[in-house]
Structure 1
Amino acid sequence: MGIDAGFDMDPPLSKGVVDKQNWGRFFINLIKEQYKDDVQVEIMPNYINFNAGEHPKLPFEGHKFLRFSSKVSGAIASNLGVERYINTVTRVAKAHFGPRVQYWHEGADQYGIHDWKKVNDSIRSYEQPDVFETQDSIRQLLSETDPVKEQDIALFEVQDIPGKGRGLVARFNISKGTRIICEKPLLTAGPMPPNKLESFLTKELKEMSKTSQRQFLSLHNNHRGKNLFSGIFRTNALPCGSGSRIGGVYPTACFINHSCIPNAHNNWNSEQEHETIHAIRPIERGA
């Protein structure tokens, strides 16, 4: 008997390109680096084994992973400090996978999402790597599936960029062809004088949710003066299609900074009325 604690991955990772890259290249490699001098952490052929508590494991094949946990009370847990490993690995996992990482602690009446039979089956599967994993990866790369849909974490984050204000920065390496953003505009408007545009935007903003209002007001304004709303719009609006006289302002896409050598391309979908941004060349993490 004892108290269990750990985290579940929900939804579980897929076999897709993006999830595989985020798990293996970034998360697993970071854990290896974190514990490279720790004699209690053992790198096995197919997983990382933590020789503490009930020996929680991290597989190299992320789609098999459901839970990282152990007893954290009693002699078996306290002697080797397994809870310290659980807390650190949870923190690193949250940084990479966000809300998919569900921490729980039975001492606080919190319990894992996945049932123990599935968890134990998944752990047993770590020993035998998938024979067709490489073929599956190649098949997906050649298909028309959108790997971004396989995850619910953003490939980017908004950061302060010296000399450029705030902009989007890649959280992971992004492959050419990946869809980075797909979003509808907060609002749209056609060409009109600043005063008339200001009145139009004031009316539109009153109809928007508080969240959308905050998103709009957080955007940069290059046209300082009495017409705040039209200044933000004129600074950030993107044409709704090539040659369109209608412009749209977006909560995320408007943070993309201009480059003479662009790494992404935008496209307006007139039927769905949303803007998509695709990588037109590989984008490195931090770019």
Structure 2
Amino acid sequence: MGIDAGFDMDPPLSKGVVDRHNWGRFIDFIKEYYKDDIQVEIKPNYINFKAGEHPKLPFEGHKFLRFSSKVSGAIATASGVERYIYTVTRVARVHFGSRVKYWNEGADQFGIYDWRKVHESIRSYEQLDGSEMPTSIAHFIDGTDPLKELEIPLFEIKDIPGRGKGLVARFNISSGTRILCEKPLLTVRAKSREELETFLVAKLKAMSKSSQRQFLSLHNNFPGKYPFSGIFKTNALPCGSRSPIGGVYPTVCFINHSCIPNAHNSWNSNEEHETIHAIRTIKSGA
């Protein structure tokens, strides 16, 4: 006994090119998203979530009917299976929209397919029966962008050996992708060190505690008599080409310099924010 929850695919996916392509994108995203999760196991023909009743996602989408598990009881709670159900459902909805039918027996909602049919479909995962979709066709099919629609960051801030903290790609990022768009914590016109320090003290006092912490967490290459201006001089970017005004950003400032850059920054004077675009492919972990 217990409460089951999950989602059904209705109508089921076909073996057609479009459904196969979209399912492939969905599976690739799930693999990448959970690549460091020891409870998510990549089997030869499916993805196995080692939580609850071990819900599975096959590599062949036309076999898939349901992703579900019991979400009540000690084992389900300890393994965090409900979190997997919730996240995978959200990602599936990005790819397949209204075909994804979420249900939860705790809310008197039930799946569309009977369990006998569901178990038959799951048993069929063990052996592949289809061929790969031609990439020449896949190239021309529009897909969705779950990273954008779910607002999942393309990067994370990590310690870089010998270089302090820096932005590291969480996924492969294609050339031309907008990586980040951010307003500065503060902007300052060029001043002497003493004037800058006095100005920054006043600015920081007027900022929220959260913004103060973000500013003070930034690296300072010029410690000493003027600590705030040291942080500013270390991290500030000009607000536009040759602008006398510099800005300090909570995240952009963690992008490390490279003689062979993989990204480009640009200042939008109308919106007053800095935008970072990839100018070549950035591999995950770079």
Matches within 5 A, 1:54-133: 56-58=55-57, 60=59, 68-70=68-70, 73=73, 83=76, 87=79, 114-116=102-104, 120=112
Matches within 5 A, 1:9-28: 21-27=28-34
Larger radius of gyration: 2
Matches within 5 A, 1:187-198: 187-198=186-197
- Name the CA shift for 1:274/1:21 in 2 (closer, same or farther; >3 Å): farther
Matches within 5 A, 1:200-239: 200-239=199-238
Shift in Å at residue 158 of structure 1?
Answer: 1.1
Alignment-mate amino acid for residue 274 of structure 1 = H
CA distance in 1, matches of 2:203, 2:174: 37
Cα offsets for 1:232-265 (capped at 9, x unmatched): 1111001111121111100000000000000111
- Name the CA shift for 1:196/1:28 in 2 (closer, same or farther; >3 Å): closer
CA contact (8 A) 2:103 2:110 kept: yes
Quick check: 1:284 aligned with 2:283?
yes
TM-score under structure 2 length normalisation: 0.65
Aligned-CA RMSD value: 4.7
- Name the CA shift for 1:278/1:148 in 2 (closer, same or farther; >3 Å): farther
Matches within 5 A, 1:237-248: 237-248=236-247
CA contact (8 A) 2:52 2:80 kept: no
Cα offsets for 1:63-84 (capped at 9, x unmatched): x9996432655xxxx9xxx749
2:260 aligned partner: 261
CA contact (8 A) 2:193 2:229 kept: yes
Which consecutive residues of structure 1, in runs of 5 or more, have no partner in the other structure? 8-14, 37-42, 102-112
Which consecutive residues of structure 2, in runs of 5 or more, have no partner in the other structure? 8-21, 92-100
CA contact (8 A) 2:177 2:278 kept: yes
Matches within 5 A, 1:21-60: 21-27=28-34, 34=41, 36=43, 44=45, 47-48=46-47, 56-58=55-57, 60=59
Give me the identity figure in percent. Answer: 56
TM-score under structure 1 length normalisation: 0.65
2:172 aligned partner: 173
CA distance in 1, matches of 2:152, 2:4: 27
Cα offsets for 1:77-99 (capped at 9, x unmatched): x9xxx749x827678899xx79x
Alignment-mate amino acid for residue 79 of structure 2 = N
> Is 18-27 or 161-170 further displaced after alignment?
18-27
CA contact (8 A) 1:66 1:114 kept: no
Q: How many residues align?
A: 243
